[in-house]
């Protein structure tokens, strides 16, 4: 019994181009040809193709299939490495499915920052963007703290919406009022999450790179008036904490 390349591909559940690729890689020998020049595959070719396909299904790289087929000493270790990679893939897929479930339940944007789908509707576009960037600069513990801040900062939500809509030429009284409005929330966050006073301890990148990225992102995502409000609020928050410390001493 013999088969053409197309017939062999159909039997093995693959494509003609795949078989040709295996020939180029040396995984399959070129078969004999009929009098008309067409390739003629036999049972051994079919078995070889099915073995290759089986190893490929297990995740063995094509470059290592010949080695594994020979049953060398390295084959078990390679399979262990593949198994570890597959386990990581399964974990990633399970996490993706869990994230999608939250996004659908909360009707959050599909591109919400990882872990923030449940609070995404509270975030302005710049805030969501900056959190995406934070996720590349800070470790997982810091990101979890940031999520908790968003969850508990309900009292400042109204002021936050005003800041989101603040024009670049906002007047002095408006800037000061908004800064005073969010200063208590910032002060409380500094108490609850002391690392905010020294973010370097939570950075996953080197300090210089993180600082440069943050400065560039803030300047791009927020207008001068908004940045001024944030700066004033930070000063007011720290002054309030110093006053509290002095009063309790």
As for how many domains the chain has, the answer is 3
Does residue 155 surpass a pLDDT of 90?
Answer: no
Q: Note whether 139 and 243 are same-domain residues.
A: yes
- The 3 state secondary structure assigned to 11-72 is HHCCCHHHHHHHHHHCCCCCCEECCCCCEEECHHHHHHHHHHHHHHHCCCCHHHHHHHHCCC
Q: Note whether 125 and 237 are same-domain residues.
A: yes
Range of the domain at 87: 73-106
Q: Note whether 196 and 128 are same-domain residues.
A: yes
Q: Note whether 22 and 86 are same-domain residues.
A: no
Q: Note whether 16 and 128 are same-domain residues.
A: no
Q: Note whether 119 and 240 are same-domain residues.
A: yes
Give pLDDT tens digits for 89-119. Answer: 999 999 999 999 999 999 999 999 998 998 8
pLDDT at 221: 95
Q: Note whether 65 and 138 are same-domain residues.
A: no
Mean pLDDT of the chain: 90
Q: Note whether 97 and 137 are same-domain residues.
A: no
Contact 222, 125 (CB under 8 A): no
pLDDT at 121: 84
Whole-number Å distance between alpha carbons of 207 and 40: 64
């Amino acid at each position: 019994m013999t088969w053409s390349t197309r017939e062999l591909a159909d039997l093995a559940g693959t494509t003609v181009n795949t078989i040709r690729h295996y020939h180029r890689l040396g995984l399959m020998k070129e078969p004999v040809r009929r009098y008309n020049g067409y390739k003629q595959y036999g049972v051994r070719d079919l078995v070889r193709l099915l073995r290759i396909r089986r190893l490929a299904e297990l995740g063995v790289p094509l470059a290592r299939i010949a080695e594994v087929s020979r049953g060398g000493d390295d084959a078990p270790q390679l399979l262990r490495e593949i198994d570890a990679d597959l386990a990581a893939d399964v974990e990633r897929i399970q996490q993706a499915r869990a994230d999608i479930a939250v996004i659908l339940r909360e009707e959050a944007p599909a591109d919400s920052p990882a872990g923030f789908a449940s609070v995404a509707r509270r975030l302005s576009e710049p805030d969501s963007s900056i959190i995406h960037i934070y996720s590349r600069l800070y470790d997982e513990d810091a990101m979890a703290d940031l999520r908790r801040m968003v969850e508990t900062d309900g009292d400042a939500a109204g002021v936050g919406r005003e800041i989101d809509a603040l024009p670049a030429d906002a007047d002095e009284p408006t800037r000061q009022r908004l800064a005073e409005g969010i200063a208590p929330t910032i002060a409380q966050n500094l108490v609850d999450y002391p690392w905010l006073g020294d973010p370097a301890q939570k950075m996953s990148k080197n300090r210089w790179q993180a600082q440069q990225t943050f400065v560039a992102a803030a300047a791009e995502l927020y207008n001068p008036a908004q940045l001024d409000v944030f700066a004033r609020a930070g000063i007011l928050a720290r002054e309030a904490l110093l006053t509290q410390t002095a009063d309790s001493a």
